[in-house]
Chains A and B, each alone.
Chain A
Amino acid sequence: MATMAPSEPARIVKTEWSMREFWKRYGSWFVTVANLTIFFVVWELFARSGAISPLFLPPASSMFEALWTGLTTTSPPGSVISGSIRDHLFYSLGNLSLGLFLACLIGIPAGLLMGGNRYIETVLSPYVWALASLPRIALVPLFILFLGFTVKMQVTIIVLSAVFPIIINAWAGVKTTEKSLLAAAKVFGASRRELYTKVVLPYTLPFIISGVQQGIGRGLIGVIIAEIFGGSKGLGYLIQRAADTFNSALMYAVLFLLVVVSLTLIQLTRWLEAYVAPWRRIDRL
């Protein structure tokens, strides 16, 4: 069959990278590294100048030192707070993973069902909105009352923190599925089931990932709140204890670690999103 276009069409060809393109792509990394280095150096100098009590702001080097020893040592058996961060980190991450897993297990199907079925939506939406808008911290005393200072209580709080963004995003994804894509699938013979599996689900997948991304942020807040309120382990507990014992270097080390953990998790979901939904790849923060 002859080709329809009159001219030889453009083909995809590999190109060499110029210095400029290299900079365009990786330049921001260099800037970030330099930026952070300067930030910590200034912090160090400022803290050492004596302008502020080391109780409020320890030198950056002390923080890194506390972080290093905390991550490389385990606490001796029996002791609760010994400067070891590692055990607390693993404990918190373990709870966070469990909580997020349960939040996905509940949130994804709930959101999909709410988007797909008008009755379920009508019945569930008042509860979803009510609980989503309630500051979760207000529920902590209630759960302590019910469940005591247990892992169960902590995981419940994480689940409640993370589940609503997941539900709401999945729900929105289903509801906003482009009508023309559904029409096209119908015209080309999709069954009702296929409309869901081949249009609605792939369309909603990136929404679900955004939901999980928000859920991670909320879940992390949940972890720390639950541990600060009631617990004898975990990063939240460690912050509390570090403050109680005026160990500001340790406290800053934990805060720094929280930032790193949170950014890492969020970056992972971004990569996942870019991988499963490259068409939504837009430059953003």
Chain B
Amino acid sequence: MRVAEADVGRTAAAPTIAAGPQDSAPVIVSKNLTVGYELHRERQRLTALRDISLTVNRGEFVVLVGPSGCGKTTFINAISGLVKPWEGSIEVNGRPVTGPGPDRAMVFQDYALMPWRTVESNIRMPFEMQKLGLSQKEMDERVRRYIDLVDLTGFENSFPYELSGGMKQRVGIARALVSEPDILLADEPFAAIDAMTREAMQSELERFVTNTRQTVVFITHSIDEAVTLGDRVVVISYRPGRIKEIVNVNLPRPRFDYDVKMLPEYGELRDHIWRLVKDEALQTARGAK
């Protein structure tokens, strides 16, 4: 369990829970990161993110929100090593990111499942490619456990084209969790999942990462989801994306053990973030004209 260090808005009425070891070692350090894409066709460079400075501590749950196209995916791609910084730097565990590594796993916005692999085989993929030194038995056991976690037992031998969007997304989640990485990068992992299942999965994820003390960078379009899950919510402005504001969410965890949405602070935080994002979204709409 983690609560951000500057613990301001904690309410006495909210249930308290046993605190785990507090440790604020920085895991992801982004300094003045500017990154973008080369558009070969138009001989242009598109700056997707400008001057992003953000430090994520061990065990922290950071949520990124912002209008579509503001560079959220680009930021986690920079953390995962899929895109290289143009300016500034990005470090993971004290070392500059030069490429992907087994300490980071990702849930992809567009699922990115191998269509020729079954559900089980997709989830097993990280084991095949990263030599983690686990025994065969342990790998089998983990694959089974994570298939069960995302409630896909019985669909092990189905192919992605036989699954619904939400089911595919759950395969993507299991694939990211199965290697139990230090850092989980999740790009709108619950976007295709219905409201009821979504809530159940949010609760499960909160409990899960609290237990495993994983560091999470999580993207969502749902402000409710951001406030429910995040220790901090980073609001990113429209293109080129800059950090507009970082909002601390100091609500006690696990937030699903009580009705967090009933807390007055919840409503205030939600409204505050909503206004920030709305301003940006309006600019996006204007920019599109």
- B242 interface contact, C-beta 8 A: no
A-B contact count (CB 8 A): 92
* Per-position binary interface string of chain A over residues 53-71, scored 1 when its CB falls under 8 Å from any chain B CB and 0 otherwise: 0000000000000000000
- Min distance, Cβ B203 to any Cβ of chain A, angstroms: 8
For chain B, the count of residues having a C-beta within 8 Å of the partner chain is 44
B88: interface (CB < 8 Å): no
B129 engages A198 (CB within 8 Å) = yes
Q: Are B108 and A5 in contact (CB under 8 A)?
A: no
Are A187 and B151 in contact (CB-based, < 8 A)?
Answer: no
**Contact of B148 with A by CB under 8 A:** yes
Cβ distance A114 to chain B, nearest Cβ, rounded Å:
19
- Of all chain A residues, the one with the shortest Cβ separation from B205 is A4
A188 and B132 CA atoms in complex are apart in Å by: 11
Q: Among the listed B82, B114, B170, which residue makes an inter-chain contact with A187, where contact means beta carbons less than 8 Å apart?
A: B82
Beta-carbon contact of B116 and A202 below 8 Å:
yes
State whether A186 touches B99 (Cβ < 8 A): yes
- Bound complex: CA A202 to CA B159 (Å): 14
Nearest-neighbour CB distance to chain A for B125, whole angstroms, equals 5
Asked if B275 CB lies within 8 Å of chain A CBs, one says no
Q: How large is the interface on A (under 10, 10 to 19, 20 to 34, 35 or more residues)?
A: 20 to 34
- Binary flags per residue of A268-280, CB closer than 8 Å to B gives 1, else 0: 0000000011110
On whether A188 and B159 interact (CB within 8 A), knowing A5-B200, A202-B116, the answer reads no
CA distance A199 to B77 in the complex (A): 19
Of B105, B106, B151, the residue contacting A9 (CB under 8 A) is B151
A190 and B114 contact, CB distance less than 8 A: no
Q: Contact check: which of A1, A194, A277 meets B129 at CB < 8 Å?
A: A194
- How far in angstroms is the closest Cβ of chain A from B176? 9
CA distance A199 to B115 in the complex (A): 10
A184 at interface, CB cutoff 8 A: yes
CA distance A9 to B166 in the complex (A): 13
Bound together, the chains give a CA A189 to CA B150 distance in angstroms of 23
Indicate if the CB atoms of B112 and A181 lie closer than 8 Å.
Answer: yes
Min CB distance A280 to B, Å, is 8
On chain A, the residues within 8 Å of B160 by CB distance are 279
Query: Which of B99, B105, B115 is the one whose CB lies under 8 Å from A279?
Result: B115
CB–CB B151/A5 < 8 A: yes
Contact pattern, A 1-33, Cβ under 8 Å of B = 1, otherwise 0: 111111001011000000000000000000000
State the CA gap A276–B150 with chains docked (Å): 28
Pairwise interchain contact B200-A185, C-beta atoms closer than 8 A? no
Question: In angstroms, how far is the closest chain A Cβ from the Cβ of B199?
Answer: 9
B102 located at the interface, meaning its Cβ lies under 8 Å from any Cβ of chain A in the complex: yes
Residues of B within 8 A of A279 (CB): 115-116, 159-161
Kindly provide the distance from the CB of A190 to the nearest chain B CB, expressed in whole angstroms.
5
A3 vs B145: C-alpha distance when bound (angstroms): 10
Pick the residue among B114, B129, B161 that contacts A181 (CB under 8 A): B114
Instruction: Report yes or no: A4 in contact with B129, Cβ–Cβ below 8 A.
Output: no
Contact A4 B197 (CB under 8 A): yes
Q: Which residue of B lies closest to A206 (CB)?
A: B116
Among B129, B150, B158, B161, which residue has its beta carbon within 8 angstroms of that of A188?
B129
Bound-state Cα–Cα, A178 to B110, Å: 11
A131 interface residue, CB < 8 Å from B? no
CA distance A16 to B152 in the complex (A): 25
Tell me, yes or no, whether A191 is within 8 Å of chain B by CB.
yes
Task: Kindly list chain A residues whose C-beta atoms are within 8 Å of the C-beta of B191.
Answer: none
- B129 near A6: Cβ-Cβ < 8 Å: no
Q: Provide the bound-state CA to CA distance between A4 and B160, in Å.
A: 19
Task: Determine if B82 and A278 form an interchain contact, defined as CB atoms under 8 angstroms apart.
Answer: no
- Closest Cβ neighbor of B161 among chain A residues: A279
- CB atoms of A277 and B151 under 8 A apart: no
Instruction: Write 6 A-B pairs (CB below 8 A) sorted by A numbering.
Output: A12-B154, A181-B114, A188-B100, A199-B114, A278-B161, A279-B161
Chain B interface residues toward A at CB < 8 A: 77, 80-82, 99-102, 104-106, 108, 110, 112-116, 125-126, 128-130, 145, 148-155, 158-161, 170, 175, 179, 196-197, 200-201, 204
Q: What are the nearest 10 A-B pairs in CB distance?
A: A189-B130, A184-B112, A189-B129, A279-B115, A180-B112, A5-B151, A279-B161, A188-B126, A3-B151, A4-B201
Please report A residues at the B interface, Cβ cutoff 8 Å. Answer: 1-6, 9, 11-12, 178, 180-181, 183-191, 194, 198-199, 202-203, 276-279
